[in-house]
Structure 1
Amino acid sequence: MPIPEDVTGEEIDKAVRQELLSLPKTLAEDVAKNLVMVARLLDEDPETAYEYSRVALRLASRVAAVREAAGFAAYGAGKYGEALKEFRAARRMTGSAELWPVMADCERGLGRPEKALAMAGEPEVQKLDRAGQVEMRLVAAGARRDMGQTDAAVVTLQSPELASSAVHPWTARLRYAYADALLEVGREGEARDWFARALEADQAGTTDASDRLAELDGVQFTDALDEEADAEAEAEAGADAGEAAGDAESGKGSEKAE
């Protein structure tokens, strides 16, 4: 896989760079560059990010950070079985429970929501920090919805973190998930309030809460570019009609002349 000239490998996190010190210098640099490409492309081009992760994995499969990156790349590409395998490997290497929520979400992706729900009750959850526990709650609620237990999903999301007025990186997503679950059980008024609260907390634009609010309020947005395209199409159609009419008149004139 080609590596752009501006990628040096120094862009990776310091902790990851520390892990790569166990490798020969040139090999460590190659792995680092591929990991940089994974991070760069994970959101915009997950399939290509996945390909770069496979290169890193071939070069350094015994490095936990590489297994974790390969897991996230596979997860982003929708390859949940492969992602779960890599996350498990990374967890064995580090002993950390940090990946537990995303591992549970892989179970959901594999069509095993009951397994994800069981993982939400395991002791590993207690080892997670607050952000990790919120992620686990989101996964558990998603599993409930997968199983058709929407009322239970609403209850699962009710928590001190949801009730708090403080804004954290996960606040918008938690409020959004709660609003969406409320809407599914027919509590539209409450859902609207929580979509509004999600939008209020969504400084990074990670959700489409504004669109959901507009939809509930019956607001329709018109794309200015689409309007321009329609106007141009109408103008062209008018011009074509005018030319056709002109051609017909010319034809009549010719017939008379004959």
Structure 2
Amino acid sequence: MPIPEDVTGEEIDKDVRQELQSLPKTLAEDVAKNLVMVARLIDEDPEGAYGYSRVALRLASRVAAVREAAGFAAYANQKYSEALAEFRAARRMTGGVELWPVMADCERGLGRPEKALDMAGAPEVQKLDKAGQVEMRLVAAGARRDMEQLDAAIVTLQSPELASNSVQPWTARLRYAYADALLAAGREGEAREWFAKAVEADRDGSTDASDRLAELDGVEFVDALDEGDDAPQDEAKSQDESAE
């Protein structure tokens, strides 16, 4: 797959670059460029990111960072079985637990919420950092909802992190998930309150909390382009009427 001229491979994280030092220099550079493309495209063009991840995997399947990138690219394309296999491979290579929550979410994607809940109660969760533990809580709540256990999902999300007034990278998503669970349970008033709190914390627009809040408030947005399209027609109609 073509690599844009502005991609040098130096854009990757220092830790990943260090992993690639086990490869011959030219090969390491090629792998690095493909990993850069995965990171660049994964949000807006997941299929493209997946293609680059497969190239990197073909070139360096024994590098943990490559297996992890391939896992996230497959995950972004809802290829959950493939993603889970790649995450497991990366975890075997590193011995770390960072991928535990996304591995559990792959189990959800494969229609196995019970397995995801088992993973939420595993010893590995205690080894996660705070962000990882919050992510695991989100996955567990999602698994409860998959099993139509709405009240249990709500309780799962109730935590010191949810109650905290400080805004962390996970705050908006946690509040959003709580609001969404409340709404699914028919608790609309509380849901509105938490969607509003999610909006306050969502500084980078990572959720559609503002749209959900507006929907609850009965606000309808009018497309400015549609209004613009109507204007010339209205003007022409007025001119016709004047001519008569």
Q: Which amino acid aligns with 1:171?
A: T
The residue aligned with 1:143 is 143
Q: Which amino acid aligns with 1:114?
A: E
Cα separation, 1, equivalents of 2:161 and 2:230 = 47
Cα separation, 2, equivalents of 1:232 and 1:7 = 46
Identify which range, 116-125 or 16-25, moves more after superposition: 116-125
The residue aligned with 1:119 is 119
Is the alpha carbon distance of 1:219 and 1:58 closer, same or farther for their aligned partners in structure 2, counting shifts above 3 Å? same
1:26-105 matches, within 5 Å, as 26-105=26-105
Cα separation, 2, equivalents of 1:151 and 1:230 = 48
Moved over 3 A (4+): 230-236
Report the TM-score, using the length of structure 1 for normalisation: 0.90
Greater Rg, structure 1 or structure 2?
Answer: 1
Q: Which amino acid aligns with 1:29?
A: E
Cα separation, 1, equivalents of 2:182 and 2:129 = 27
The unaligned stretches of length 5 or more in structure 2 are none
1:208-219 matches, within 5 Å, as 208-219=208-219
Identify which range, 95-104 or 112-121, moves more after superposition: 112-121
1:1-258 matches, within 5 Å, as 1-232=1-232
The unaligned stretches of length 5 or more in structure 1 are 243-258
Q: How many angstroms does 1:57 deviate by?
A: 0.1
CA RMSD of aligned residues (A): 1.4
- Identity across aligned pairs (percent)? 83
The residue aligned with 1:248 is none
Q: Which amino acid aligns with 2:216?
A: L
Q: How many angstroms does 1:226 deviate by?
A: 1.8
Q: How many angstroms does 1:111 deviate by?
A: 1.0
Q: How many angstroms does 1:233 deviate by?
A: 6.0
Aligned residues: 239
Report the TM-score, using the length of structure 2 for normalisation: 0.95
Identify which range, 70-79 or 222-231, moves more after superposition: 222-231
